[in-house]
């Protein structure tokens, strides 16, 4: 069913990139390898007919989440040597998680093989998904919207803080300024000696 | 279905070709006179003060998180737009309600000044 050559190519890239994520000493490189892993996984999903998931993976994970990952990598300021030591320390836990995931995947695949079959939907995966989301799963969809709203409020509440004493321009107020607010015209009578005080006869001329 | 995506491998090959060509041209045509002083770290006339891994300001995260949220919003728009013929008025109104909820969030972040950089 799957075209063989693109499948093996994308799988090889996925495995190689995953090894790069775990193995690279520079965390920024690890994050970039993760981008490659995501793109390879998107290709695999595309080959399996899951067009919408592939698109979402590229748009959401590669486009947005990885930007955040890179910022986090910059933020936590990891020391490379410490990272290398913790690799060995967390290896047993990682193996445990990998085995658990493997068991789950095998169980899921067995369920598929026993007849919970799937076919390529008419008109493509995206259309089938949309038809389901916006009719049968309408309520969860609206809840998803509310969760997103909650996330917006939470993100702002957690990270937004005003910095005191910063100077910045306000273009709106700059545009609204009038001549009367800024400019004063003085009519000065001609006089000769320099360095004198402003003569009392100088009058303010109203603008 | 997959034939529609045939342009992507071609695109990848062309992009890689252009990148490799630029690198190879620089490698072949460029003069190379290595000098230890050229390879030394240099920062405006001083030795480098620190390495490039500087902690970011937290407000970059705010921008990134808000971007992710609205990115998710547009992801919901794709299947909606494709299946608009099947989902009827209810589906249309559902998306209107969804967008309204997120517009509330957008107005909130705008009024709160989260989009201002100062």
**A174 inside domain:** no
**A84 inside domain:** yes
Q: pLDDT value at position A205?
A: 57
- Assign residue A17 the CATH number of its domain: 1.20.120.1200
Interface test with A, best of B4, B68, B89 (most A CBs within 10 A): B68
Across A28-46, average pLDDT: 92
pLDDT digits (tens, 9 = 90+) for A150-207: 999 998 888 887 777 777 788 888 888 888 888 888 888 887 666 555 555 555 555 4
Cα angle value B81/B84/B88 (rounded, 5°): 150
CA-wise closest residue to B5 among A50, A8, A66: A50
Asked whether the CA dihedral A129, A134, A136, A138 is positive or negative, the reply is: positive
Closest partner residue to B94 among A3, A134, A161, by Cβ? A134
Across B3-30, average pLDDT: 91
Distance CA B20, CA A165 (A): 49
**A186 inside domain:** no
Among A56, A88, A114, the domain-final residue is A114
* Domain span including residue A14: 1-78
pTM check: above 0.80: no
Instruction: Enumerate the residues of chain B whose CB falls inside 8 A of the CB of residue A129.
Output: 79, 83
Distance CA B62, CA B59 (A): 5
Give me the domains of chain B, ranges plus CATH numbers.
2-112 (1.20.58.1610)
Where are any strands of DSSP class E within chain A? 185-187, 203-205
Instruction: Enumerate the residues of chain A whose CB falls inside 8 A of the CB of residue B105.
Output: 148-149, 152-153
Distance CA B110, CA B116 (A): 8
**A18 inside domain:** yes
Distance CA A133, CA A128 (A): 9
pLDDT digits (tens, 9 = 90+) for B81-114: 988 888 889 889 999 999 999 999 999 999 988 8
Does residue A130 have a pLDDT over 80? Answer: yes
pLDDT digits (tens, 9 = 90+) for B35-49: 887 777 766 766 666
**A198 inside domain:** no
């Amino acid at each position: 069913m799957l075209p063989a050559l693109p499948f093996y190519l994308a799988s090889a890239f996925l495995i190689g990139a995953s090894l790069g994520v775990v193995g690279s000493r520079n965390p920024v490189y690890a994050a970039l390898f993760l981008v490659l892993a995501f793109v390879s996984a998107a290709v695999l999903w595309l080959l399996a007919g899951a067009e919408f998931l592939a698109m979402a993976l590229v748009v959401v994970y590669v486009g947005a989440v990885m930007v955040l990952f890179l910022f986090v990598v910059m933020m936590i300021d990891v020391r490379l040597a410490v990272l290398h030591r913790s690799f060995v320390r967390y290896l047993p836990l990682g193996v445990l998680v990998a085995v658990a995931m493997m068991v789950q995947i095998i169980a899921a695949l067995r369920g598929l093989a026993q007849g919970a079959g799937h076919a390529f939907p008419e008109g493509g995966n995206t259309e089938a998904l949309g038809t389901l989301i916006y009719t049968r799963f309408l309520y969860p969809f609206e809840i998803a919207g509310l969760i997103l709203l909650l996330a917006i409020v939470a993100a702002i509440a957690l990270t937004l803080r005003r910095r005191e004493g910063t100077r910045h321009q306000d273009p709106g107020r700059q545009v609204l300024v009038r001549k009367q607010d800024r400019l004063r015209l003085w009519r000065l009578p001609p006089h000769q000696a320099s360095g004198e005080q402003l003569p009392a006869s100088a009058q303010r001329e109203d603008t | 279905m997959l034939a529609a995506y045939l342009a992507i491998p071609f695109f990848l090959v062309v992009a890689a070709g252009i990148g490799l060509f630029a690198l190879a041209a620089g490698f072949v045509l460029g003069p190379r006179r290595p000098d230890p002083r050229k390879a030394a770290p240099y920062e405006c006339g001083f030795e480098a003060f620190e390495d490039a891994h500087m902690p970011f300001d937290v407000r970059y995260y705010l921008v990134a998180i808000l971007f992710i949220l609205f990115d998710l919003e547009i992801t919901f728009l794709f299947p909606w737009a494709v299946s608009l013929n099947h989902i009827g008025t209810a589906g249309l109104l559902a998306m209107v309600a969804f967008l309204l909820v997120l517009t509330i969030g957008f107005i909130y972040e705008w009024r709160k000044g989260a989009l201002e950089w100062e």
